[in-house]
Amino acid sequence: MFEWLFIPAAYLIGSISSAIIICRLMGLPDPREQGSGNPGATNVMRIGGKKAAGITLLGDLLKGLIPVYIAKSFELPSELLAVVGLAAFLGHLYPAFFGFKGGKGVATSVGVLLGFSWALGFSFMGTWILIYKLGKISSLSALIASILSPVFAWFIVGDVKIVIASAVMTVFLLWRHESNIQRLLSGEEGKLKT
């Protein structure tokens, strides 16, 4: 029964806010109080530059990847693996250590997908990069890659539990990007200056 302990452990790992911690360590403003107010890599880029954003991105990705990768190494069944991934993802969105107010979840979802399958995670990243190269809009890139991730999961992994987990993350990502979607539709969404 110890396998079920992976779920709360994944949630707690996901609850570690890379953006807030990195900003504190680098003497930057709290990302929840600057820029978009979102504790994620894109906002850290705005307030702290590429280095801070890169470290934040890596941290957010790893907290999705590590719990799933460890669970996978224990050969847990796919339904439990899917829940572990969702727990890490939800930890980022609703972190226990930071008042349950977290980021939008893109990087952590990529980490979870990488844990499920390297090809699945890289498919998401490749889609993000392609769309970003075309439009320079981070949110649009994330949204399109997210929408396609359950399709990628179906063809790459072929396990319905992993497909469902990918779809659940997509729903949350769309919901967390509601304001971005509204700005995209009105043509007001800003491009990320790199």
User: pLDDT tens digit string along 126-176?
Assistant: 999 999 999 888 889 999 999 999 999 999 999 999 999 999 999 999 999
83-102 exposure pattern, b = at least 16 Cβ within 10 A, e = fewer? bbbbbbbbbbbbbeebeeeb
pLDDT at 42: 85
User: pLDDT tens digit string along 45-55?
Assistant: 989 999 999 99
**Most distant CA pair in the chain, distance:** 51
Mean pLDDT of 113-133: 97
Computed over its alpha carbons, how large is the radius of gyration of the chain?
16
CB atoms within 10 A of CB 37: 11
Mean pLDDT of 115-129: 97
Higher pLDDT, 101 or 67: 67
Angle, vertex CA 13, rays to CA 94 and CA 31, nearest 5: 55
Evaluate if residue 194 carries a pLDDT over 70: no
Q: 60-74, 120-134, 180-194 — which is least confidently predicted?
A: 180-194
Task: Say what percent of the chain tops pLDDT 90.
Answer: 80
